[in-house]
Structure 1
Amino acid sequence: MNTKNGTILLAAGGTGGHIYPAHALRKVLKSRGWNVIFITDQRGLNFRISDENIEIYRINSASLSGSLSDKLIGIFKLIFGLVQSFTLIKRFKPAAVVGFGGYPSVPTMVAATLIGCPTMIHEQNAVLGRANRLVARRVNRIATAFSAVSGIKQKYKSKVTLTGNPSRPDLVNSRQHELKKPFTILVIGGSQGASILSKIVPGAVCALPPDLRKNLIINQQCRPEDLQRVQNAYNANGITSTLSTFFQDIPKLMSEANLVISRAGASTIAELTIVGRASILIPYASAMDDHQTANAKNIADNGGAWMIPQAELTVDVLCERLISCLTSPSLLSDVGNKASKCGSPDAAIKLAESVEEIAAISRERIG
């Protein structure tokens, strides 16, 4: 492995949707000899992305939403974060700076463009996020997870490169296509679970004909306040279930599932398409710019999932869909294969190559 003796800065908001892709890119860049540094906010510092020793720095940031006083406080935090970012960039002299969205990425990306560092943003969703929108005109390149991303102005389309959404490396190793018995359903709802799934899924499962539900296995993520109620429902109907507020082994559970019921966050879509699993997607109705609907529609339009808008999700609607899945293994296999065709298991490598291409700009300047 050749040592590049250079530094790449990764700026990401402190949620899993931003942190996981950045971490996947970090692992590839490290394997190629780059020194990689994270810049995030307090949430990012607390996010458990790895047991590895990661060099990470916190800066101030805030969204510009809320009351007038909230917006004024947000402006001051962003200005302070901009000063902190200037200091870090001057200190580390990065060959490139990559932003993964979320407001904590904005000060770093603005500072990098003002200094003249090669820059790139990565958009995980099918709608350009607000933080990325703020800096899209200033960066050298825009990497996307989807082939069609709304919110990117026509004049910036020449900057766009399709890489896919980098995901956890262990997911690629979990890629399986053989559907196993007993029939297993994985229910996940984002980092904190989804109350609507805890209300509707148990009712739909328990409404299945006895011959269909008797051999089911349910692995379901729930909010703490929903755990006991959901467990009681499954127990009363003799359904084998494992419930948790957070699953550590999502790649294993997803690869073992015949069907996944989930929200439609970018990381979940990437995981489903990498593993190649059929899914029923219920987009989070209040997601920023309704990006989860755009994410779900992208894969559903390609035959790799079923999408049910939250407003249309009822026990009867979900039960009917479950019956069709349980009684048609070939249908599940077909949908899973189509989901797999939407995936990008080499997304982290593609993104790393794109980063190295823009990093060459700074090397040419030095040379």
Structure 2
Amino acid sequence: MSAPIVIAAGGTGGHFFPAEALATELAARGHTLVLMTDTRAGRREHGVFAACEQHVLPGSGVAGGGAVRKLRGILALGRGALRARSILRRVRPAVVVGFGGYPSVPPLLGARLLGRKRPQIVLHEGNAVLGQANALLARFADAIATSFARVAKVPPGLETILTGMPVRAEIAAAARAPFPDATGDLRVLVWGGSLGARVFADVVPQTLAALPDALRARLRVTQQARKEDLERVRAAYAQAGIEAEVAPFFDRVAERLRDAHLVIGRAGGSSVAELSMVGRASIMVPLPIAASDEQSANADALVRAGGGWMLRQSGFTPEALGELLRELLAQPAALEVASRAAGGLGRPDAASALADLVERRIALACGTTGPDGLRSQPERSIPPRAQHQASGTMRA
């Protein structure tokens, strides 16, 4: 397997974590990797990519903002694509794998610009609605791997494989962890990421402080909050007599997720995948400014499976959240049932399944059945009926 595999990913952890998980699996199989990323992610000094050839390409998002911002974004993506084409011509990869978001656009456009000598192009979509970047790139991709069984806006005819979302190694190690004992403490994990975390700082402490005394005394809260919100959130919990750890960032995420009885947070593809992998009940508040409202579709998939509850941000009030929490925290058995349902959607072999797809595309491009050890799994293909559903419009 001499031809390298290019991983195109950058931006936020939601796009980069699955790329790292796939890279780790491919490296273990003996493949040579090249990373193409953006300035937000930058060069990786640690982890699987540290020893790989790396390229930081120019690029910018084009969604939102005015005409000038969009024009600058398009020009930056164009420069990045031309630079990527030059690099790819020298590297001569077998496959380029993109993980969505604008950082994947220059490498995959650069691959397309190579014409007949281009490598295989594989996309990974982490949400239940095809993202804007992947929607642009899907027209010349060879295959797309999905994290959900139903994905809206996938073009008909594109090979669509349900692999699941590759997650960080520590999350995968906690797959389907037993539900923690709920006869004593009730542990609530509140994560919101850097976008929109303020709504959780505004609503959650106030809601928990108004719970009945017996419930409030049992609460142990871990909450992510912006730096500017830290002191007021800590003060609100202290005044309510609730034991709480509040910080802008937490390590040992897998451990905290494993120990939680309930999670409150956004519904990004990576977050839903981690909830499903570990198997934890959640109250999801989709990010309202998401371009394609993909977080609502993600949450809807978990709700339909019985693994959680969704509150729109417009209805995420202390009254609405309080009513739901009084019901759920008073019946930990319901949380355990929902946790098992969420865990039923988890795919611990997602990184392996995606690596199988990449290797199969290499084999198909070479016109062979693949080298010894190639683990092709055609049964993961979405059946024609489901593929038809995946190409339609999903109702959130």
TM bracket, shorter-chain basis? over 0.9
TM-score, with structure 2 as normaliser: 0.87
Instruction: Give % identity.
Output: 39
8 Å contact from structure 1 (residues 15, 44) kept in 2: yes
Q: Distance in 1 between matches of 2:20 and 2:48?
A: 12
Code of the residue aligned with 1:67 in structure 2: it is G
C-alpha displacement of 1:48: 8.4
What corresponds to 1:64 in structure 2?
A: 62
What corresponds to 2:236 in structure 1?
A: 233
What corresponds to 2:136 in structure 1?
A: 134
After superposition, the Cα gap between the structure-2 partners of 1:331 and 1:310, relative to the gap in structure 1 and judged at 3 Å, is same
After superposition, the Cα gap between the structure-2 partners of 1:251 and 1:191, relative to the gap in structure 1 and judged at 3 Å, is farther
8 Å contact from structure 2 (residues 83, 110) kept in 1: no
What corresponds to 1:280 in structure 2?
A: 283
What corresponds to 1:177 in structure 2?
A: 178
What corresponds to 2:97 in structure 1?
A: 98
Match of 1:280, SS state, is strand
Code of the residue aligned with 2:178 in structure 1: it is H
8 Å contact from structure 2 (residues 98, 124) kept in 1: yes
Match of 1:267, SS state, is helix
After superposition, the Cα gap between the structure-2 partners of 1:360 and 1:262, relative to the gap in structure 1 and judged at 3 Å, is same
C-alpha displacement of 1:111: 2.0
Code of the residue aligned with 2:32 in structure 1: it is N
After superposition, the Cα gap between the structure-2 partners of 1:324 and 1:48, relative to the gap in structure 1 and judged at 3 Å, is farther
8 Å contact from structure 1 (residues 14, 47) kept in 2: no
8 Å contact from structure 1 (residues 20, 49) kept in 2: no
CA root-mean-square deviation: 1.9
Match of 1:335, SS state, is helix
After superposition, the Cα gap between the structure-2 partners of 1:51 and 1:150, relative to the gap in structure 1 and judged at 3 Å, is closer
4+ residue stretches of structure 1 with deviation over 4 A? 46-49
C-alpha displacement of 1:67: 2.6
Q: Distance in 1 between matches of 2:124 and 2:318?
A: 37
Match of 1:186, SS state, is strand
- Give the count of matched residue pairs: 362
- 2:124 is the counterpart of 1:122: yes
Counterparts of 1:234-273 in structure 2, within 5 Å, are 234-273=237-276
Unaligned runs of 5+ in 1: none
C-alpha displacement of 1:195: 0.5
Counterparts of 1:299-338 in structure 2, within 5 Å, are 299-338=302-341
8 Å contact from structure 1 (residues 164, 344) kept in 2: yes
Q: Distance in 2 between matches of 1:97 and 1:358?
A: 10
| Cα deviation digits, residues 121-158 of structure 1 (max 9, x gap) | 000001101111111010110110011111112343xx
- 2:219 is the counterpart of 1:216: yes
8 Å contact from structure 1 (residues 303, 339) kept in 2: yes
After superposition, the Cα gap between the structure-2 partners of 1:151 and 1:51, relative to the gap in structure 1 and judged at 3 Å, is closer
Unaligned runs of 5+ in 2: 372-396
Code of the residue aligned with 2:156 in structure 1: it is Q
8 Å contact from structure 1 (residues 258, 278) kept in 2: yes
Code of the residue aligned with 2:172 in structure 1: it is V
8 Å contact from structure 1 (residues 192, 246) kept in 2: no
C-alpha displacement of 1:64: 2.9
What corresponds to 1:167 in structure 2?
A: 167
Q: Distance in 1 between matches of 2:298 and 2:45?
A: 25
Match of 1:178, SS state, is coil
C-alpha displacement of 1:47: 7.3
After superposition, the Cα gap between the structure-2 partners of 1:46 and 1:32, relative to the gap in structure 1 and judged at 3 Å, is closer
Match of 1:33, SS state, is coil
C-alpha displacement of 1:290: 0.8
Match of 2:33, SS state, is strand
After superposition, the Cα gap between the structure-2 partners of 1:104 and 1:31, relative to the gap in structure 1 and judged at 3 Å, is same
Code of the residue aligned with 1:62 in structure 2: it is S
Q: Distance in 1 between matches of 2:179 and 2:121?
A: 42
Q: Distance in 1 between matches of 2:354 and 2:333?
A: 35
C-alpha displacement of 1:191: 3.8
What corresponds to 2:80 in structure 1?
A: 81
C-alpha displacement of 1:192: 5.1
Deviation larger for 161-170 or 146-155: 146-155
Match of 1:42, SS state, is coil
Q: Distance in 1 between matches of 2:367 and 2:269?
A: 35
C-alpha displacement of 1:44: 1.4
Q: Distance in 1 between matches of 2:259 and 2:146?
A: 29
- 2:32 is the counterpart of 1:35: yes
8 Å contact from structure 2 (residues 196, 287) kept in 1: no
Code of the residue aligned with 1:224 in structure 2: it is K
- 2:25 is the counterpart of 1:23: no
| Cα deviation digits, residues 292-348 of structure 1 (max 9, x gap) | 111101111111111111111111111121112211121111100000011111111
Q: Distance in 2 between matches of 1:219 and 1:46?
A: 31
Match of 2:40, SS state, is helix
Match of 1:219, SS state, is strand
8 Å contact from structure 1 (residues 19, 49) kept in 2: no
Counterpart pick for 2:6 among 5, 9, 28: 9
